[in-house]
Amino acid sequence: MVENFQAAAYRCQNCGYISLAEQATCHFCGGPVELVSDVINTIVRRTLEAGNEVVVVQPNEHISGTLYTMGDIGALLRY
């Protein structure tokens, strides 16, 4: 993610599900959802707790341009 990146999102107060889409109730458990003005700390904490790595990059033309097309944050997923 680009340094100093911030994002608002909706978080379920029951199960902790996070969504960028506005919703009144959680799609998974039906619990109440609250708007979180900056959800990045939660995402980073969950990532680290799962044993994964977080890389913060300094803004520059090449990296920022590439990440910008993905919303300033990205992930390498494997299963």
- Residues 5-34, mean pLDDT to the nearest whole number: 93
Number of domains the chain is built from:
1
Determine, yes or no, domain membership for 22.
Answer: yes
Lowest-pLDDT choice from 11-15, 47-51, 61-65, 68-72: 61-65
The C-alpha atoms of residue 66 and residue 27 are separated, in whole angstroms, by 31
Domain, as residue range, for 62: 9-68
Q: 59 versus 11: which is more confidently predicted? A: 11
Percent of the chain with pLDDT strictly greater than 90: 46
Question: How many C-beta atoms lie closer than 10 Å to residue 74's C-beta?
Answer: 13
- Contacts (Cβ under 8 Å, ≥6 apart) of 36: 8, 9, 10, 11, 18, 42
- Residues 49-70, mean pLDDT to the nearest whole number: 76
34, 24 contact by CB (below 8 A): no
Determine, yes or no, domain membership for 78.
Answer: no
Determine, yes or no, domain membership for 77.
Answer: no
Confidence of residue 18 (pLDDT cuts 50, 70, 90): very high
